[in-house]
Structure 1
């Protein structure tokens, strides 16, 4: 859809192109797609989170850096405020794509200037263990503001939409995340393709990281274990992963990986990818693992069942059960083959970036065209 004279400001990510998380991955695909379709695109970001010389940067996408407070509890709020103010006072876009309900507090500013908003509500942040009481209260208050002032909402999973309809009486559009298929050589690690267990996750309790690290001690006695991720702030889980890496030759902790080719290669050649995310919606890491054809074992949640479907393999968040399920699949070539096939089929049918970007553009164009 070519949209002449339309402009969009994307607020609530770390910038373009950034490799931090799911929002940033989505924007790396969406911003160039919109620019190609004739939109003027501005992505707001934070200092030091992008590289101007990044070869993946599309020169048609404008990056706008604002200031904020760098802290676990205030960064999203502060950068959201300065980006929203800049959009209101200087950019005046046709429409704003706002990521995260924490930025719901600033939707009245955008509305007052006649800027319609499409808000990706993300997951149910107030359910996450990593947040204290004050943060959970803030997220829920932001969700209430989003429900009141957001012109259109995006749910990345049907189960997220169910929660919003029941708790906030708001409907929205379903737009999940996409994945990029890969055909890469094995990763440059001392591991045999198809023989290692892999986890890719931010180090927070609700991602089942403590349980997986304990299970890894059992798995590593028989198979290599590759761990990708960190907390970003240090702490007990990072220390535990480092200790495993130092004590057990079969454990490889890589920390945060921003090299897509390395990450996709790890996923493509894994014997098992364990996905332990328990809250949120359609998880970008899971969708990307599926696009790479990884054999997935996922924590049993309504979100993971929605994405993997009836043929998925699920496990309770218990270290012994995780270890048993991982070792059983790695040792069973037929189970691996079936899991890989399920990943590829589900990815191609429901979770492609073309489909995702198409839906975002349609929703943005409808909002931009409203009187």
Structure 2
């Protein structure tokens, strides 16, 4: 049965695991954006995957419509197949505009174009340069980016540097909309740790996050300070085994695995003496913005993306274990620098890198597409 149109502008959000989901940056953005759009008078539908959300989630806004479609749960085909099934469903319901997350869904944009549904596409990072993907997956993302450049009505870049890469590589401009961070009251300190007395890393265990180099630096840092490691590969493997062995043999190294409790994770950022951010591929990283919002003193891997977000409110290190150990230890021993960098990072997120700013920019971009479509229809 066709979807009943209302007087409200309608948007379909496609390409995440659902609402509310806590999987990654896209999902975090949708958790913030969907209720905001409803408050602004939108009819919002978020597409997702089976088993990725809970009906009894207290963060679920009942005004947001959720639709689950089917796909293949494989590393290489899940995004493509879930994207296709969601887009086919959206074609039937015909929203006023679609917000698409991930260039892998670019292959299906012509279907939405055929139905007269304008598309705003968040291109994410330069996925085909990520070491975690094999040759086939990299090719899929590369060609997905090309089809996105051909068929998307408007693009979203979460970093100015991503926009520059798309301009030079695909000849497309877009709108800059990064990620935001959640502020929080001061939270209790993790038992066994001291305020500003430990180094922290929060990362998925993949090579481009500089996890191996940090692990090699950890014993040196642990000679004088505690080291807290949050994250895992998600499926075991050599990096997990190395971290487990290091934690078991060194009482100053604490491996917490994946932490899904936001309050616990926020506390770790709030009280850290040095947060090492080793992400090297992509644009604005949500974890970096969240750490900044909570006032963590930061040592970041020296990349153009991290410098764009942090600017002068952080220290930088090459992807070298000796350099990482030296930079992190130096910050742990400098209370003045900790206070200055933490306060500066928090203040920097109150502009572009705040959720109200992010949501406002998304809504403006979506409304502009509807307005342009109306003019094209009347012409």
TM range (shorter): over 0.9
> Structure 1 stretches of 5 or more lacking a match?
none
Aligned to 1:96: 98
Say whether 1:7 aligns with 2:10: yes
1:4–1:38 contact (8 Å) kept in structure 2: no
Aligned residue in 2 for 1:65: 68
Q: Distance in 2 between matches of 1:153 and 1:120?
A: 6
The normalised TM-score by structure 2 is 0.95
Give the aligned partner of residue 21 of structure 2: 18
Q: 2:84 aligns with which of 77, 81, 85?
A: 81
Query: Residue 124 of structure 1 corresponds to which residue in structure 2?
Result: 126
Shift of 1:139: 0.5
Name which of 268, 288, 291 aligns with 1:289.
Answer: 291
Aligned-partner Cα distance in 1 for 2:235–2:337: 37
1:188 and 1:148, CA in 2 relative to 1: closer, same or farther beyond 3 A?
Answer: same
Cα separation, 1, equivalents of 2:66 and 2:185: 31
Q: Which residues of 2 match residues 19-34 of structure 1 at below 5 A?
A: 19-34=22-37
Instruction: Give the C-alpha shift of residue 185 in structure 1.
Output: 2.1
Please give the alpha-carbon distance, in whole angstroms, between the structure 2 residues aligned to 1:312 and 1:58.
36
Aligned residues of 1:46 and 1:65 also touching (Cα < 8 A): yes
Shift in Å, 1:11: 0.6
Aligned partner of residue 349 in structure 2, secondary structure: helix
Whole-Å separation in 2 of the counterparts to 1:181 and 1:199: 19
* 1:194 corresponding residue in structure 2: 196
More divergent stretch after superposition (48-57 vs 96-105): 48-57
Distance 2:51 2:221 in 1: 38
Query: CA separation in 1, counterparts of 2:46 and 2:240?
Result: 31
Equivalent residue number for residue 349 of structure 2: 347
Distance across 2 between alignment mates of 1:260 and 1:311: 24
Structure 2 match to 1:238: 240
1:135 paired with 2:137, answer: yes
Quickly say closer, same or farther: Cα 1:115–1:357, change in 2 above 3 A.
Answer: same
Out of 112-121 and 60-69, give the one that drifted further: 60-69
How much does 1:4 deviate? 4.8
C-alpha contact 1:4 1:39 (8 A) present in aligned 2? no
Match of 1:37 in 2: 40
How far, CA to CA, are the matches of 1:328 and 1:4 in structure 2? Answer: 59
Q: Which moved more, 1:332-341 or 1:247-256?
A: 247-256
- Which of 204, 207, 210 is 1:208 aligned to? 210
- Is residue 264 of structure 2 the alignment partner of residue 262 of structure 1? yes
Q: Give the number of aligned pairs.
A: 368
Contact 1:20-1:258 at 8 Å conserved across structures: no
Name whichever of 186-195 and 291-300 sits farther off. 186-195
Unaligned runs of 5+ in 2: 1-5, 375-379
* CA displacement, residues 189-218 of structure 1 (integer Å, 9 cap, x when unaligned): 321111111111111100101111111122
2:190–2:268 CA contact under 8 A, matched in 1: no
1:357-368 equivalences in 2 (<5 Å): 357-368=359-370
> CA contact under 8 A between 2:297 and 2:314: conserved in structure 1?
no
Q: Which deviates the most, 283-292 or 213-222? A: 213-222
Q: Aligned partners of 1:48, 1:159: CA distance in 2, in Å?
A: 35
Contact 1:100 1:120 in 2 (8 A): yes
Structure 1 residue ranges (4+ consecutive) displaced by more than 4 angstroms after TM superposition: none
Aligned partners of 1:129 and 1:205 also within 8 Å: yes
- Residue equivalent to 2:54: 51
